Amino acid sequence: SAQEQTLGFQTEVKQLLHLMINSLYSNREIFLRELISNGADACDKLRYRALEDDGLYEGDADLRVEIEFDSEAKTVTVRDNGVGMNREDVIANLGTIARSGTADFLKQLSGEQQKDAKLIGQFGVGFYSGFIVADEVVVRTRLAGTPAEQGVEWRSRGEGEFTVADIERAEHGTEIVLHLKEDALEFADEYRLKSLVRKYSDHIDVPVRMPTVQEGDEETDTTITWETVNEAQALWTRPKSEISEDEYKAFYKHVAHDFSDPLTWSHNRVEGKLEYTSLLYVPSRAPFDLYQREGARGLKLYVQRVFIIDDAEQFLPLYLRFVKGVIDSNDLSLNVSREILQQDPQVEKMKSALTRRALDMLGKLADDSEAYQNFWNQFGSVLKEGPAEDYSNREKIGGLLRFSTTHTDSATQDQSLADYVGRMQEGQKAIYYIIADSFNAARHSPHLEIFRKKGIEVVLLHDRVDEWLMTHLSEFDGHQLTDITRGDLDLGDIDSEEEKQAQQENAKAREGLVERFREALGDQVQEVRVTHRLTQSPACVVLPENEMGYQMRRLMEAAGQ
Ligand code: ADP
Ligand code: MG
């Protein structure tokens, strides 16, 4: 056909296809979920664009996804009358992986890791999952609002190449035909397909239909009746009590483009001055681009059920960027844009309410220590950015933090500040901490000697962000947080009177020695002092109270300052 062109998949697509076909074999039914999800997204996009120009519906505003199969031809077809694609879109969307950083991430994977089905969830399996069950995939599509001759056909056997050609296509939207592999013929079956639609796509607000064909005879024509198979109501609009855990989980996978189950969620309808519904989820795995500037973040924004934007970043602070979900506002205007969102005072109010909501959700999750530990291991160091970014919630965030301490003497960060406070000694004035480059460096620091001797617990900080965190978290539950390597250490009432006296006498007796150190070290130090902190090491270096810490210095140096 006209303008046929054969192109190679981007290297990462080839790797991803390989990874997917090998790791998802036992889970291959998910291809249907992914293709329906894309069809529903395409309908959402068309509905949004049609707000400005309802000519884009081309007379067919009845948005839907249709599924058909043909057991003789061994095909399953998923079709939508959504926005569709032009030739450029097809090449960009079905030949590459848009997320930056994917190539680097894939390179880092060892052969062992590549067998892990969960890794694939990092990408959202998406369109390419068709190749788990099909040895050839054919896509026919046309962008809504373009002439019929601008249809495009894409086909591939998933082996490194695909072809695109111009076709004539009367309908806008997209049709995907899967030519099933011999061992996947089970999917060309009405009962199987219907049950998969119910299992995975009930929560999608677009109807998913399947045909029933009544063969005609001499007197009657063959008729096709379409039956809507899924519930077809946006999940967040339904009452909480009527939504099952499985439905919440399935919806998460659609919204977050994730393959794994979420850890927890929080579904709320807010009425009053501002009216909106939010459904927030905590994923169980960090995406590989969590720390990349351009990594995907934000909530899916709807206004009065109409999809508006995929990654609306304005509704949550950066330190909660791992939270996924939906917000559906009744007050915002339907033609709201990212720019407007940035300035809208309503959005600011929603943001602070949603932030509290998200923190409360984490607080509840903390009741389940195993689940919370899972959360912490994935996202803890992001949450540690919180006190710096969100001063007003720092106490709440402080309660959600987990650390290693000398109490457990383990690198696992699983102790809360509340745990620490509960173990504080009589007369102890502060929560003590030390920051080092690694857990072992913290644990073996000579500064700890006096604390170990006196049985006082010390928080052992060893994450890159810890110093940043501690410059913004100076207090918790009324207790000062004190760096044990800085300034003059006052252990308060824990030192007895005799001890204090002995310390003073000791200091006096060593004045001569101190003077010789001062002369020898000269300009290299600000001060030399006799210390009572050490029980085994002869000497240690301390920072003045208000000086920038070692980690921060290194960060600043690395940043060229
Ligand atoms: P994701 O849905 O996470 O973006 P997919 O691999 O599922 O990733 O799809 C890749 C892209 O291909 C989509 O973002 C979309 O732009 C395009 N696409 C896929 N299926 C359709 C469809 N049915 N209609 C329109 N565009 C589609
Ligand atoms: Mg998708």
Residue 455 has pLDDT above 60, yes or no: yes
* Predicted local distance difference test score (pLDDT) of residue 118: 64
Ligand 1 atom closest to the Cα of residue 176 is 23
**Measured distance CA(146)–CA(373) in Å, rounded:** 52
Instruction: HSE, CB side, 13 Å, CA atoms: give it for residue 14.
Output: 10
pTM of the model: 0.84
* Predicted local distance difference test score (pLDDT) of residue 83: 98
Ligand 1 atom closest to the Cα of residue 82 is 24
Residue 141 — very low, low, confident or very high, per pLDDT cuts 50/70/90? very high
With a Cβ cut-off of 6 Å, ligand 1 is lined by 34, 38-39, 41-42, 80, 82-85, 93-94, 124, 126-127, 174, 257
Instruction: HSE, CB side, 13 Å, CA atoms: give it for residue 2.
Output: 8
DSSP structure string for 15-54: HHHHHHHHHSGGGTTHHHHHHHHHHHHHHHHHHHHHTT-G
Ligand 1 center–CA 483 separation, angstroms: 51
**Measured distance CA(41)–CA(309) in Å, rounded:** 11
In terms of C-beta density within 10 A (0-12 exposed, 13-18 middle, 19 or more buried), how is residue 173 classed? buried
Specify the pairing of strand 262-270 against strand 276-283.
antiparallel
**Measured distance CA(446)–CA(541) in Å, rounded:** 10
What is the tens place of the pLDDT at every residue in 491-514? 765 667 777 787 788 778 888 888
Ligand 1 atom closest to the Cα of residue 94 is 12
* Predicted local distance difference test score (pLDDT) of residue 78: 98
Helix, strand, or coil (residue 134): strand
Which comes out higher in pLDDT, residue 510 or 474? 474
* Predicted local distance difference test score (pLDDT) of residue 114: 61
Which comes out higher in pLDDT, residue 11 or 176? 176
* Predicted local distance difference test score (pLDDT) of residue 303: 93
* Predicted local distance difference test score (pLDDT) of residue 376: 98
* Predicted local distance difference test score (pLDDT) of residue 180: 98
**Measured distance CA(227)–CA(211) in Å, rounded:** 6
Residues with CB under 5 A from ligand 2 (ion): 38, 126
* Predicted local distance difference test score (pLDDT) of residue 287: 85
* Predicted local distance difference test score (pLDDT) of residue 18: 84
* Predicted local distance difference test score (pLDDT) of residue 507: 79
* Predicted local distance difference test score (pLDDT) of residue 548: 66
Q: Rounded mean pLDDT of the chain?
A: 89
Instruction: HSE, CB side, 13 Å, CA atoms: give it for residue 394.
Output: 17
**Measured distance CA(445)–CA(433) in Å, rounded:** 12
What is the tens place of the pLDDT at every residue in 254-296? 999 888 899 999 999 999 989 999 999 999 998 888 887 777 7
What mean pLDDT do residues 149-175 have? 97
**Measured distance CA(108)–CA(113) in Å, rounded:** 9
* Predicted local distance difference test score (pLDDT) of residue 546: 63
Ligand 1 center–CA 273 separation, angstroms: 37
Ligand in closest contact with the CA of 46: 1
What mean pLDDT do residues 123-149 have? 93
- Of 225, 361, 347, nearest to 298 by C-alpha is 347
Ligand 1 center–CA 307 separation, angstroms: 16
* Predicted local distance difference test score (pLDDT) of residue 252: 95
Q: Among residues of the chain, what percentage have pLDDT more than 70?
A: 91
Check: CB of residue 134 under 8 Å from CB of residue 184.
yes
Ligand 1 center–CA 84 separation, angstroms: 10
Give me the helices (H) in 366-414, please.
Answer: 369-383, 386-389, 394-400
Ligand 1 center–CA 34 separation, angstroms: 9
